[in-house]
Chains A and B, each alone.
Chain A
């Protein structure tokens, strides 16, 4: 156990004590033995939630609660726990197995985590997205651990010939208190495996006050040491005997097609072995490849050089006229006219007409690329009608399904091995890059690694949408907001799956539009039409980013218009503590969660505002040229509020001095990882606010690498970020952490810029707007 020696000198760590897990390298030897907890006798139990309902059972393949699938105990006592979700940096590969270990009384230093391959029938849903893992799996993982514990206790009681009520599992052994006898988990492994799996409904879960690991934040991620010594295995790190390296030239316009290519010069490049066409799918192409020309080489460098030497003729197709400047005008025009009404209360038209004053704000946000540090990459080995894949995928089950369908083979013939992901942010939920590797391996009869370059990643991404949010707020004479109309117009993610989609899907409308938590008598949300001209996809926090930017900027604008404090304006708009009713909404999507367990509870939103205001010292006096901004937003059924302090110098240089974020994510597992997610969300929020923009001209993306699509670097990152985790009500179900930190950042920042300079930013990115 190491403790930071000088925490007072570490920024943002004032009250933190950090603990490092000891290396388990030495004691892991000899694992993989078959004599452990018997994995035969398949048993599948559906979830029976004691405390609260979640949407987990409605996900594809639902939830599997089965200790025989998730837990194995070797005779030497090593407990192996399956991590069935993908690790993209949230810490879930540690957190979920830790829950099992907690409940089964396993000692974490004697636990090994094994990554599940893609098999949703066996493990349950594996889509690692939507900030869902902890909220869907806290109870199932506890039940799995508790069931394993009961099996161990039953085995010990039987061996000693005592009633099971007299024995108790404790720190990796079972103890018979009255006789002082004890048996280690390893000694009980074989007998425990012979016990029947107890009824999930009858399991008694641990009292939270006896938790050794949960809620403490004292366990580091299982991959920490490997990451620091360079042995952690990402998608890019897979190497197979005889493997070839491929880089692909893809159609520069979405929906474009290959006409012809000349490979003569490419084949002259040292190390290049072959050039061949890759099949593409017609647009909208779902998660299928875009097609193009692949250069196969003995190493990646040669493949890239070979691709540079290719001569390719493309047919650009219907999207060749996509132009971001013109498209923005189109969105703005649509946002100024009535659109499809998706929520309405009172009479917004009459109220706006009769208002003493109307404040109008129109906010623009461009496309964003994900740019995970590891660009898309996959290795595939196709042998006959069997496929094995190694890839950094957020959706291993979906990948398996899509690969099987593409080749017309049964899913049983497809193995998807999940590596660590060098970032994902939603990009790696789409498996087009895996299918490319599969097609190429099949074509050349050898294992193939397909490597996307950074330019490929930016230019052929499933981009975050582009949007205009138009808000009109009507005030009465006293300054009270009596009317609120929000029109949101953006091409939908659904356009990636079906032609002629012009409206946003319920899951997009539910991210900050129809779920606006404001207590305004006359309120209407509308969705005018917009058609897509490129692949649109999920980007961390999705539609919440532009919506929170618009809504929380409008709060700042209204505060200014009525000469009020931003925070007071925000609290007034949220209004009374209540459960928001969405009666007028046809399909009120709530992140897939039942509204009963996860309602829009304004008391919780008000509380995070008060907590961040208190901890972040809202209203403190700041030096000249500095300003404070605040924003709050509920997303992924969590509640977040952020305060940002900025300064802008006379040349327009922006400095972020301090960030304070309060998060209420209900019951939590690992506060240390929550802190890291929220720290990172501030950086991602600052990146998109300051720089994030992908534009099109003649149908082609104009950016390519970190020089033209910059992200925040350390020298411009917030000087200090504080994270304040709001203690949950004892029975508050867990909610999202990975995504909800992002949306409130940009409006808190631009509200702070307004306070510092009087300049209102209505279009992102900020770019050069502060330069005078």
Chain B
């Protein structure tokens, strides 16, 4: 039995310990905000935060996060008004929106580590998250806006 704290709640899993965390979150628990995009840690759509670090849930097995704290987009802020979420709305970032929860979680991790990133630092730190619609300019702007205070 593996125990994990997810968005502040205790969860237990007694199935395959190698199951990627992504599918535990989405299919077993029903936290569908975390998305599937590649299954190989290539696109960042499944980004969650584990102990303040951005982690790709598609290649992180459930046993890797045993007894640790996982935060998904649903648990980021009780009212959905984290400064990064607000900045995203203010700049009208999304087109289809599918990759955005992963982008937001990556941005939160970036700002935790570097609260005032330059544009170049933003571009580098967010390069692991693909947006096929091509919202990069707005993502960059939103991260900048969040870092300077909405």
Contact = CB atoms under 8 A, between A and B. Distances in A.
A151 B101 CA distance: 43
A720 interface: yes
B23 A299 contact: yes
23 contacts: A6-B148, A10-B144, A13-B91, A13-B141, A20-B92, A89-B95, A221-B92, A227-B100, A229-B74, A234-B98, A236-B32, A237-B32, A301-B19, A301-B23, A301-B24, A373-B43, A374-B36, A374-B98, A676-B135, A705-B39, A706-B43, A714-B122, A714-B123
A731 B104 CA distance: 42
B28 A299 contact: yes
Interface of A: 2, 4-6, 9-13, 18, 20, 87-91, 220-221, 223-225, 227-232, 234, 236-237, 239, 245, 269-271, 298-302, 304-305, 371-375, 420-425, 451, 453-454, 672, 676-677, 679-684, 705-707, 711-718, 720-721
A371 B134 CA distance: 13
Q: Which of A220, A298, A300 has the most CB of B within 10 A?
A: A300
Q: In this complex, which of B16, B96, B129, B140 has the most chain A Cβ atoms within 10 angstroms of its Cβ?
A: B96
B126 A714 contact: yes
B81 to A, nearest CB: 9
Interface string B68-89: 0000111010001000010011
A373 B39 CA distance: 12
Most buried by B among A223, A237, A716: A237
Contacts of A682: 134
Pairs A-B, 3 closest by C-beta atoms: A230-B33, A683-B134, A422-B98
A47 B16 CA distance: 58
A707 B33 CA distance: 24
A713 B128 contact: yes
Interface string B121-135: 011101111111111
Contact of A271 (B15, B94, B126): B15
Given A229-B33, A676-B138, A713-B130, A271 B89 contact: no
Given A9-B148, A682-B134, A454 B39 contact: yes
A35 B92 CA distance: 35
A299 B132 contact: no
Mostly helix, strand, loop or mixed at chain A's interface?
loop
Nearest to B126: A714
A676 B16 CA distance: 43
Most interface-central of B43, B128, B129 (chain A CB within 10 A):
B43
A420 B35 CA distance: 13
Contacts of B37: 373-375, 454
B95 A6 contact: no
B89 A10 contact: no
B77 to A, nearest CB: 8
Interface in B12-59: 15-16, 18-20, 22-24, 26-28, 30-40, 42-43, 45
Given A236-B36, A270-B15, A714-B127, A230 B132 contact: no
B134 A373 contact: no
Contact of B97 (A223, A301, A672): A223
Contacts of A676: 92, 95, 135, 138
Given A228-B100, A705-B40, A300 B134 contact: no
A301 B148 CA distance: 40
Given A89-B133, A715-B127, A225 B94 contact: no
B70 to A, nearest CB: 14
Contacts of B97: 89, 223, 227, 232, 420, 422
A451 B27 CA distance: 12
B142 to A, nearest CB: 9
Given A300-B26, A672-B92, A684 B134 contact: yes
A375 B89 contact: no
B49 to A, nearest CB: 13
A12 B94 CA distance: 16
Contacts of A677: 95
A420 B98 CA distance: 9
Contacts of A232: 97
A234 B98 CA distance: 8
